Amino acid sequence: MGPEAAKKNWVGKPLPRKEEDRLLRGRGKFADDIKLREMLYLRFVRSPYAHAKIVSVDVSAAEALPGVVATLTGAELAPQVQPFIEIAPDPGGKIKDYALAVSKVRYQGEPVAAVVAESPSLADDAAELIQVEYEALDPVIDGEEALKDASILHEEAGTNRVWRGVFEYGDADKALKEAAYVVNIDRMHFHRFSSTPLENNVVIAQWDPKDERIYYQCNNSFPSFAIQFLAAHLQVHIDRIRVQTSDIGGSFGIKITTYPQMAVCAMASKKAGGRPVKWVETRSEHMTSSAHGNERTFRDTRVALDKNGVITAIVSRHIDDCGAYPRYEPLGCVIWSQVFPGVYRFKNARIDFSQAVTNKCPVGPNRGYSRMQHLWFLERVVDICAHELGIPPDEMRLRNYIRPEEFPYTTPNGCVYDSGDYPKMLQVAKGLIGWDDWKKKQAEARKQGRVIGIGIGTTLDSGTNNFGQSQIVNPGAPFSGNSQGANCKLDIYGEVVVAVGSCPQGQGHETTAAQVVADVLNIHPDLITVRTGFDTERNVHTGFSGTYASQFAVSGLSAVHGAAQKLKAEMKRLASSVLNTKEDDLEFGAGAQGPEVRARSTGKSINYWGLANIVNVNSAVLPVEMHDVTLNCRYIWRAPFKVPDTVKKYGSLTLTYASQLHIAVLEIDRETFIPRILDYVAVDDCGTVINPGIVEGQVYGATAHGIGAALMETCVYDAVGNMLTSTFSDYTPITAMNMPKVKYGHTETPSPHSYSGAKGMGEGGAAPIHTVSAALQDALFADGIFIDDSFNNADSLFRAMVGKEISQAKQLVRVERRT
C-alpha cells in the first residue's frame, strides 16, 4: 500500500469537536468573562411606550449620584454622529436612525438614554433616577394596518411602507385563466418569534483617547458588517475600529444587529475619558429590544393548478413587518426570493412584496431568515390545494417537486439550485417514520374520536449569499458577491496555525477547519490549531466575514482549503530545494519527528520545525530565489457570482441549497387541546458531509428551534404595543422536556458549486414550523379548520376548534373549479 492510499480522510469523519473540552468544562471565554482595569458599566433607560414624543429627559439626579461617571441622551448624541446607514432606498432610506431615541420613541424598550457608573448596580440605581417625560402617540401594531399610514412612525419617510417591489416571472395571469382549478386563500400569517441564545448581547468598548481608536470586545456575529455601519456613524476611519470576538453563546442571526448598542458604548467610553465601558444585556432587554424575526402576512393568494394538481402559478401580496427601524432590512425583502419557488416546479408567479414599519422591536436575521416565512407560505399553499383537490399531501408533493434529473435547476428568478433529490428524501423520511403504519393508526384513531395529523415539510436552506441581491432592493447598494478569508501558516517552531474570519457560536468551526487542513497536509487534526473568533487586527477578514447565513462549510472552508493549499505549495518549494529533489517526488505525512515532508526517492525528510526555522530564524540559509516564501499564507475565496439584473429581479442569489424533509405525527387532545408530537423524522441533505456529528447536532438544534417556534414561542404585543412576552416565563423557549424523540435521516447530493461538495446547513429552513403546521392542518381539515398561522398552541387550537373564533376555512379558502 503506497503512502497516498494510506492517507486518512478526515473530512467526512465524525471527529469529536475540538472546542468541546473547553466549552463543556466551563472554560470557554465569553465577552462577559472579560474584566478590564477601570471598567465602567452601562445601563440603558428604555421607553415604556410603543410610540411617544419625548418631551424632556432629565439626567441631573442620575449625574449627582456618587459613582456615576457619565450619562448620554439621544439629543446629546445626535449632533456628534451621522444617522446610521439605511440599506433601503427612499422612502425607507430617508429614515433617520440613531442609537438613542432623539425626539420620539418607536417601540417599547427603545433606548432613550444611557448611564455609565463604577458598578453594574450603581448604573441600575442611576438609570432609575433619569426622568423622561413622554407624550403618547397612536401606536401602530399590525403590519397591514401600518400600510394605511394613519399614524406615521418616521415623519422623514412620510409613510410606513418602507419598501415595495413586485417580483413577477412568467405569465401568471395567463396561467390563472387556463387553470383547471384556482384556489383562493384570503390571509395567512407568519408569526414573530426570535432566538433565545443562552448568552445575551455583550459589548465592551474602549475609545482610546491616545490614538483615537475604538476597541470592541463583543459577541456580534457579523463584525465586518457592524464596523462598516459604525465607522460611518461615528465618523471614524474603519481601520481605527478593532472588533474582537471570543466564544459566543449562540446567535442564530439575532446578534448581527447590535451595532446601535456598540455605538452607544463607544460614545459613552469617549465621554468617560476613554475608560472601557461594558454593557451586558439582560434577558428582558434581549426579549424586548435586541431583534426579533420577521413577521409576514400573505394576502389574496391565488393559486392556479392543472387538472392533475400541478401548480402552474401563484399570485399573492406579502406584507413584511420589520418593527420600528429597518436596520439590516430591507434585505429580507429580497432574501426570501433565494427560494422563490421553494422545492416546486411552478414557473409563473407574481408576488407583490411590501415592508412596513410598526411600533415593535426591530427585526433582524433570525435562523431561517426571510426564507422560512416564504417556505411556510408555500407549504401551506401546497397542503391546502392538495386537500381541496382531494390529492394526498405526499402525492401532491411528488407531482410538484423539482425532479432529481432537473438539477442544476434554474428557478424562474434565476437562482440555480445546485443539487437535490426531494422524492428520495420523502421516501427515506416515510420509511423512517413508518408512513403506511401511521396512516392506518390515524384512521383507526379517528374512529375513536381522536384527532391525529401527519404532516410533511419540505424546505431549503439556501447558503452563501450573493450580496448583489442587495441591489435588487437598492440599486445604489455597494455590495455584491461574497468572499471569505483564511490564513494558514507554519509558526516559528513549525506549528500549523489556521485563522478564519468567522466567529462561530457552536458550529464547530475549529474542528471542521482542522479536518480540511489535516487532509491537505496529511496530518492529524490534533496537530492543527485553529483560531476562530473575529479580530480585525488578525487581518484574515473580508467585508463579509462573520458567522451567519449557512455558509461556513462553503465560504469559510473554501478559504481555509485555499490557504492550506497555498501553504502546502510553499512548503513543497522549500522542501524540494532543501532535500534537493523535484516537487513531485515529495510526500506529506507524519514522521518520527512530527509532521514532515519526505522525498520518496531518497527517504530524506524535513520536518515542519525545520522548514519554519529556515524561513523565520535561520534565514541566512534561505536561498535567494525562495525569499518570497513566507509559510504564512492568506487566501481570499470569492463566490462566482454576478450582479443580478435589478430591473427583472433576476439572477443567482445563493450558491448552495441544502434541503430538509421532516414528517411529524401529532395528536391534539380533545379535552385539553394540547398538541403532542407522537413521532418525528428529520431528513437532511447538505451535500457532502464534513463532520456527521456536527451536522446531526445542527439538525437537532434547528429542529428544537422550529418546534419551539411552531408550538411555544411567540412575541406578543397588546393593542397599545406593550410586549407581553418579555420574560422566559411568558415566552417559554423550548426545553429538552418539550422535545419529542427525533429520528434523524440523511441523504447526500454533493453540490457542484463548492470545492468539497458541501452545502451550508446551519439554518435548517425552519422545517419543523412547516411540518407541525402541516400535521395540525391534516388533523383539522375534517373540522373545517384552516391552519392560517404559523404559531399554534393549546389555547389557539381551543379557540379554533371550540370557540370557532379563528381559522375557519369557510371564510378563508375558496376554490374555483373550471372542469
Residues that bind another protein (CB under 8 A): 120-121, 124-125, 128, 282, 284, 669, 671-674, 711-712, 716, 724-725, 728-730, 732-735, 737-738, 793-795, 798-799, 802-803
Least distance to another protein, CB of residue 767, Å:
20
- Which residue, 289 or 355, has its beta carbon nearer to another protein? 289
Ramachandran region, residue 631 (left: φ > 0; alpha: ψ -120 to 50; beta: rest): left
- Which residue, 121 or 618, has its beta carbon nearer to another protein? 121
Collapsed DSSP state (helix, strand, coil) of residue 481:
coil
Provide the H-helix boundaries in 712-734: 728-731
Least distance to another protein, CB of residue 123, Å:
8
Residue from 141, 89, 157, 148 nearest 323 by CA: 141
Least distance to another protein, CB of residue 282, Å:
4
- Which residue, 394 or 679, has its beta carbon nearer to another protein? 679
- Which residue, 428 or 800, has its beta carbon nearer to another protein? 800
* Cell 478559504 belongs to residue: 559
| DSSP bridge partners of 245 | 218
Pairing status of strand 111-117 against strand 213-218: unpaired
- Which residue, 402 or 452, has its beta carbon nearer to another protein? 452
CB 194 within 8 A of CB 287: yes
CB 621 within 8 A of CB 615: no
Cell numbers placing 429: 423520511
Least distance to another protein, CB of residue 674, Å:
6
- Which residue, 592 or 737, has its beta carbon nearer to another protein? 737
Q: How far is CA 361 from CA 97, 143, 193, 548, in A?
A: 14, 13, 11, 21
Least distance to another protein, CB of residue 294, Å:
22
Phi, psi of 807, deg, nearest 5 = 60, 40
CB 575 within 8 A of CB 586: yes
CB 792 within 8 A of CB 807: no
Least distance to another protein, CB of residue 737, Å:
5
Least distance to another protein, CB of residue 612, Å:
49
Cell numbers placing 263: 455605538
- Which residue, 83 or 120, has its beta carbon nearer to another protein? 120
CA 56 from chain centre, in angstroms, equals 38
Rounded CA separation 378/385 (Å): 10
Least distance to another protein, CB of residue 676, Å:
9
Least distance to another protein, CB of residue 670, Å:
9
- Which residue, 670 or 818, has its beta carbon nearer to another protein? 670
Q: Which helix (H) or strand (E) segment is 63 a member of?
A: helix 60-64
- Which residue, 159 or 738, has its beta carbon nearer to another protein? 738
**Amino acid making up residue 334:** V
Rounded CA separation 792/666 (Å): 13
Least distance to another protein, CB of residue 731, Å:
8
Least distance to another protein, CB of residue 225, Å:
29
Rounded CA separation 569/487 (Å): 14
- Which residue, 103 or 672, has its beta carbon nearer to another protein? 672
Cell numbers placing 483: 468572499
- Which residue, 493 or 728, has its beta carbon nearer to another protein? 728
Rounded CA separation 436/93 (Å): 54
Provide the H-helix boundaries in 737-784: 767-780
- Which residue, 39 or 794, has its beta carbon nearer to another protein? 794
Least distance to another protein, CB of residue 32, Å:
12
Least distance to another protein, CB of residue 444, Å:
22
Rounded CA separation 79/234 (Å): 11
Indicate the angle between helix axes 767-780 and 794-801, nearest 10 degrees.
30
Phi, psi of 21, deg, nearest 5 = -55, -45
**Cα atoms found within 13 Å of the Cα of residue 393, Cβ hemisphere only:** 28
Handedness of CA 225, 226, 232, 238 (dihedral sign): negative
Phi, psi of 575, deg, nearest 5 = -65, -35
- Which residue, 203 or 571, has its beta carbon nearer to another protein? 203
Cell numbers placing 500: 478564519
